[in-house]
């Protein structure tokens, strides 16, 4: 049984105690800097002074207060190893579910033999709902391919976001998180649905509830569940979750060389790792044109319209810089997200209506046509895995101007078929676009190189054979 202390006897601490109590667990005690609380109890849990930790008789200390960063550094100064400090909402939840699964989760549900299928189904993790992000687009494409191969499947989706898109390749099960009574009910309902689809292979795309539920289902039904975990971006939450639950993962797919190395550094077994590339539509012959001198340069963005990770707010800052430089351009933004309305309003407030075109959601089949109309693909992301939008744009001959994040240099050879700029460097973005604006011939040449890069890679890729082999391996190893 793990021994864990919560540092912070306040509202946040109360939330996390309630979390553990759902699983009939409790922390060893609260630690707090407030001397008035020492020797008392909070939510039925004793409160101690920080020197309680000096003896080192514990496994982890969870930071459960508003001044989290201050406490994090206090713990480090006390000599507590960083690996034993649970700081951050996702990191703490990841570990607490792991403790609960190991210590207090009940056994499996009784499944009628008639409910167990002779051939494994594939369940697809759509934790963020049916939206039009890069991960979801990849899932829809893979689902279509597997269905053609005769594989049965289902989508596992949630009410985390309002659905902007509905893919009917496979039936979907919607988890209504907003109606559940607590964390345990979320997990139990998810495990129950997985149990109703045994035997199954679960393709986990996010290190969250569906992934945790998949691992717990595998604990309960040995031999009936296989897990393929895909690391889609460079978010630390992926590394921590996949490393902690590695025992239950059958294969871990990394979408860039950088991610593969980091997974290994976090302790994920290299024998479980495989590299995976994006398959995108790419014609052998590129039929398109680029804007000529004297005409506005076309700049495209396609993806989630969000500030978190994608930093689409910076696109308007770049647009303002280009306007100041008297560059004639049109910034075409395709996609939806929680920043779309704010962005639309900002476009009007900044006087950019004649420069920025908010297209909204476009059908997957229209993506190649969208990119063939763009001279440049731009991405300000703070982190990525291996952007599918980047690959799709290059396949259509758009020159990528992207931040130096995971997966960027897997496709982009700087100044040959695109440009890689430092994260957050808006001047570099503006200067690069200005260079292409004034050198249209060079831009066209780079666009052709971008297409060639993707075409050569796609020619070598046999996605059908890859998934045939993988889905067989996880059941035979």
Give residue-wise pLDDT tens across range 217-252.
Answer: 999 998 999 999 999 988 899 999 999 999 999 999
How many Å apart are CA 425 and CA 319, to the nearest integer? 14
Q: Hey, what domains does the chain have and what are their CATH numbers?
A: 4-103 (3.40.50.720), 116-277+462-476 (3.40.50.2000), 297-460 (3.40.50.2000)
CA distance 453 to 463: 18
Q: How many residues does the chain have?
A: 477
Rounded to whole angstroms, the Cα distance separating 397 from 376 reads: 9
Q: With beta carbons less than 8 A apart as the criterion, state whether 82 and 76 touch.
A: yes
Residue 386: its pLDDT value, please? 85
Q: Which residues contact 441 (CB under 8 A, 6 or more apart)?
A: none
Q: Determine the Cα–Cα distance for residues 361 and 6; give it in Å rounded to an integer.
A: 44
pLDDT value for 112: 47
- Residue 459 pLDDT greater than 60, yes or no: yes
Helix H or strand E segment including 359 = strand 356-360
pLDDT (0 to 100) of residue 106: 55
Cα separation of 124 and 205, whole Å? 8
Scanning 229-276, the segments in alpha helix (DSSP H) are: 236-244, 257-266
Nearest to 125 by CA among 186, 190, 179, 220: 190
Residue 42 DSSP code: E
Nearest Cα residue to 235 out of 251, 215, 255: 255
Better-predicted residue by pLDDT, 163 or 401: 401
pLDDT the model gives residue 315: 98
Long-range Cβ pairs for the range 98-106 (8 Å, 24+) = 98/244, 98/245, 99/2, 99/4, 99/25, 100/20, 100/23, 100/25, 101/212, 101/215, 101/216, 101/219, 102/2, 103/1, 103/2, 103/23, 103/25, 104/23, 104/24, 104/25, 105/23, 105/216, 105/219, 105/220
CB-count exposure of residue 146 (10 Å: 0-12, 13-18, 19+): buried
Q: What is the pLDDT of residue 118?
A: 75
> In this predicted model, which residue has the larger pLDDT, 459 or 315?
315
Write down the pLDDT at residue 264: 95
Q: Model confidence at 114, in pLDDT bands (50, 70, 90)?
A: very low
Mean pLDDT over residues 341-347, rounded?
A: 96
Percent of the chain with pLDDT over 90: 79
Residue 477 buriedness (CB in 10 A; 0-12 / 13-18 / 19+): exposed
Instruction: Give Rg (Cα) of the chain.
Output: 25
Predicted confidence (pLDDT) at residue 108 exceeds the cutoff of 70: no
What integer best gives the mean pLDDT of the chain?
92
DSSP-assigned states of every residue in 115-180: GS-SS-EEEEEETT-S--SHHHHHHHHHHHHHHHTT--EEEEEESSS--S----SS-EEEE-GGG-
Is the torsion defined by CA of 137, 139, 142, 143 positive or negative?
negative
How confident is the model over 244-268, as a mean pLDDT? 94
Rounded mean pLDDT, 324-342:
95
To the nearest 10 degrees (0 to 180), the angle between helices 209-220 and 89-103 is 10
When pLDDT is averaged across residues 58-62 and rounded to a whole number, the result is: 96
135 pLDDT band (50/70/90 cuts)? confident
What DSSP character marks residue 181?
S
pLDDT at 216: 95
Predicted confidence (pLDDT) per residue in 394-446, tens digit: 999 999 999 999 889 989 999 999 999 999 999 999 999 999 999 999 999 99
List, in order, residues 6 or more apart from 390 with CB less than 8 Å away.
Answer: 377, 379, 400, 402, 407, 408, 411, 412
H or E stretch at 98: helix 89-103
Give the whole-number percent of the chain exceeding pLDDT 70: 96
Alpha-carbon distance of 398 to 123, in angstroms, equals: 34
Q: Strand, coil or helix: what is 436? A: helix
Residue appearing with tokens 């553990």: 20
Question: pLDDT at residue 75 above 90?
Answer: yes
Of 47-56, 110-119, 290-299, 384-393, least confident by mean pLDDT is 110-119
Widest distance between CA atoms in the chain: 76
Backbone angles phi, psi at 170, to 5 degrees: -125, 155
């Amino acid at each position: 049984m793990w021994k864990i202390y919560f540092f912070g006897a306040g509202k946040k601490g109360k939330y996390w105690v309630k979390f553990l109590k759902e699983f009939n667990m409790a922390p060893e005690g609260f630690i707090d800097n407030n001397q008035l609380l020492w020797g008392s109890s909070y939510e039925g849990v004793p409160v101690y002074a920080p020197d309680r930790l000096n003896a080192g008789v514990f496994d982890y200390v969870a930071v459960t207060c508003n001044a989290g960063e201050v406490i994090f550094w206090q713990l480090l100064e006390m000599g507590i190893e960083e690996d034993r400090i649970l700081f951050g909402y996702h990191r703490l939840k990841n570990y607490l579910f792991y403790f609960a699964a190991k210590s207090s989760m009940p056994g499996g549900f009784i499944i009628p033999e008639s409910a167990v299928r002779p051939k494994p189904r594939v369940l697809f993790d759509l934790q963020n709902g049916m939206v039009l992000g890069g991960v979801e687009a990849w899932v829809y494409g893979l689902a279509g391919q597997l269905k053609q191969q005769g594989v049965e499947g289902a989508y596992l989706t949630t009410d985390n976001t309002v659905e902007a898109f509905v893919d009917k390749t496979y039936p979907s099960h919607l988890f209504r998180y907003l109606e559940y009574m607590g964390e345990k009910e979320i997990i139990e309902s998810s495990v129950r649905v997985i149990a109703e689809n045994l035997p199954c292979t679960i393709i986990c795309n996010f290190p969250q509830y569906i992934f945790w539920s998949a691992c717990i289902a595998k604990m309960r039904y040995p031999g009936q569940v296989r897990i393929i975990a895909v690391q889609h971006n460079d978010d630390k939450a992926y590394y921590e979750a996949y490393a902690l639950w590695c025992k239950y993962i059958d294969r871990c797919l990394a979408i860039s060389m950088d991610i593969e190395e980091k997974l290994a550094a976090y302790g994920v077994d290299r024998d479980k790792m495989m590299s995976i590339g994006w398959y995108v539509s790419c014609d052998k012959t590129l039929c398109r044109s680029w804007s000529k001198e004297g005409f506005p340069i076309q700049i495209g963005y396609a993806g989630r319209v969000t500030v978190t990770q994608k930093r689409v707010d910076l696109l308007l800052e770049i647009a303002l810089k280009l306007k100041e430089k008297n560059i004639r351009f049109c910034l075409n933004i395709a996609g939806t997200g929680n920043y779309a309305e704010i962005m639309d309003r900002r476009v009007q407030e900044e006087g950019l209506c004649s420069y920025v075109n908010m297209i909204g959601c476009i059908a997957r089949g229209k993506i190649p046509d969208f990119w063939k109309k763009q001279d440049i693909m731009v991405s300000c992301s703070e982190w990525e895995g291996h952007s599918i939008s980047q690959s799709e744009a290059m396949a259509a001959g758009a020159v990528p101007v992207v931040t130096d994040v995971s997966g960027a240099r897997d496709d982009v050879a700087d100044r040959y078929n695109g440009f890689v700029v430092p994260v957050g460097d808006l001047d570099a973005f503006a200067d690069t676009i200005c260079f292409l604006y004034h050198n249209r011939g060079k831009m066209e040449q780079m666009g052709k190189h971008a297409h060639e890069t993707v075409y050569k890679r796609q020619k070598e890729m046999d996605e059908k054979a890859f998934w045939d082999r993988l889905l067989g391996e996880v059941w035979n190893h």
